[in-house]
């Protein structure tokens, strides 16, 4: 699948520099960044779900600890 991403000149320069330093293509840098972003977002969403479902049972204890 092809995708067009519009970058500012500064972003393009940073991407090119990082790719060159890493010895990989700019495409691979973008793909890795996207994978990392999706993984972090998925982790954050899971953590939020767990907090929403599990935290209420400890609300009283947490309130007492905060006093």
Q: Write down the H helix ranges in the chain.
A: 9-22, 26-54, 59-65
Could you report the per-residue pLDDT of 5-61, keeping only the tens digit for each?
A: 999 999 999 999 999 999 999 999 999 999 999 898 888 888 888 878 887 888 788
Q: What is the number of other CB atoms lying within 10 angstroms of the CB of residue 38?
A: 10
pLDDT value at residue 48: 84
């Amino acid at each position: 699948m092809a995708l067009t991403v519009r970058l500012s000149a500064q972003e393009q320069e940073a991407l090119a520099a990082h790719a060159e330093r890493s010895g990989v293509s700019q495409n691979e840098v973008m793909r890795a960044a996207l994978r990392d972003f999706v993984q972090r977002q998925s982790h954050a969403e899971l953590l939020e779900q767990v907090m929403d479902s599990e935290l209420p049972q400890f609300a009283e204890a947490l309130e007492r600890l905060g006093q």
